[in-house]
Amino acid sequence: MLNIVLFGPPGSGKGTQSEKLIEKFSLVHISTGDILRAEVAAQTELGFKAKTIMDSGILVPDEVVIGMIENKIKSNKEANGFIFDGFPRTVAQAEALDKILETYKLKVNYMVALEVPIELLIERLLGRAKVSGRADDTLEVIENRIKEYSNKTLPVANFYQNQSKFIPVDGVGEISEIFERICSVLK
Ligand code: AP5
């Protein structure tokens, strides 16, 4: 099995590159942002709680997302592998992921970290705002999301560095060019 954590700040291209990777390697895509947005759209109790938090650009509590991941892995035990997109976002989530995978005798193989300068992240997300309808794609909330990433999520890179699984990839350029870079490091 090939289990990849696709890592990077908001707007670094995790969702865009995940789409291409799942096609090439027949992996199951697990995006905590997509799962949470589906809960919001379905107006579930979890969705109501998550919406206020997401709309302000801060992270949803660890126990909520860890529970979601556990369910997804459990219901896809026969998969060729997983792409974790937007998860783990805290060291506590990374530790929990290792434990969950271990119960199925699985592990994360690589963390692919997309590196993009902040000005370009903001430009991309403000560009997406014109079509996405995402309440968190406003300048103020984008800035909060980037702050949350720097404070709580960046330490996750060290977690995988310590396991020798961290692979940085330049996330600037054409989408296809970045995809080629990722594929070449995965070889
Ligand atoms: P989430 O949905 O995960 O959002 P995010 O991490 O902020 O990521 P984005 O979807 O904004 O960006 P991306 O890196 O996927 O880039 P994309 O490919 O879309 O999380 C949303 C919220 O949910 C969080 O703030 C939090 O509240 C909550 N949440 C989610 N997971 C959580 C967790 N684990 N723990 C706690 N809370 C959690 O690209 C962006 C734009 O750029 C697109 O328009 C795209 O077309 C464009 N683009 C991409 N690549 C290129 C390129 N090479 N050149 C030009 N444009 C490009």
List, for residues 49-59, the tens digit of each pLDDT value.
999 999 999 99
Question: Residue 135: which H helix or E strand, with range?
Answer: none
Instruction: Say if CB 4 and CB 109 are below 8 A apart.
Output: yes
Judge if the upstream peptide bond of residue 88 is cis by omega within 30 degrees of 0: yes
Is residue 149 very low, low, confident or very high in pLDDT (cuts 50, 70, 90)?
very high
User: Encoding tokens for residue 151?
Assistant: 């404070």
92 lines ligand 1 (CB under 6 A): no
> Chain-centre distance of CA 157, in angstroms?
13
Instruction: Say if CB 89 and CB 152 are below 8 A apart.
Output: yes
Q: Is the pTM of this model over 0.95?
A: yes
What does the angle CA 155 – CA 161 – CA 164 come to, to the nearest 5 degrees? 160
- What is the spatial distance between Cα 181 and Cα 113, in angstroms, rounded to a whole number? 12
Which residue's alpha carbon is nearest to atom 12 within ligand 1? 11
What is the DSSP code (8-state) at residue 104? Answer: T
Which residue's alpha carbon is nearest to atom 40 within ligand 1? 11
- What percent of the chain clears pLDDT 70, i.e. is strictly above it? 100
Q: What average pLDDT does the chain have?
A: 96
> How much distance in Å is there from the Cα of 146 to the middle of ligand 1?
11
User: Encoding tokens for residue 15?
Assistant: 């969702």
> How much distance in Å is there from the Cα of 13 to the middle of ligand 1?
7
Q: Which range among 74-78, 96-100, 148-152 shows the weakest confidence by mean pLDDT?
A: 74-78
Is 77's pLDDT higher than 90? no
* Cα 18 to Cα 6, 8, 21, 108, 162, distances in angstroms: 8, 12, 5, 16, 24
Is 187's pLDDT higher than 90? no
Pick from 158, 148, 185: which is nearest to 170 by CA? Answer: 185
86 lines ligand 1 (CB under 6 A): yes
124 lines ligand 1 (CB under 6 A): yes
Pick from 110, 59, 64: which is nearest to 86 by CA? Answer: 59
- The residues annotated with a catalytic role in the active site are 14, 89, 128, 134, 145
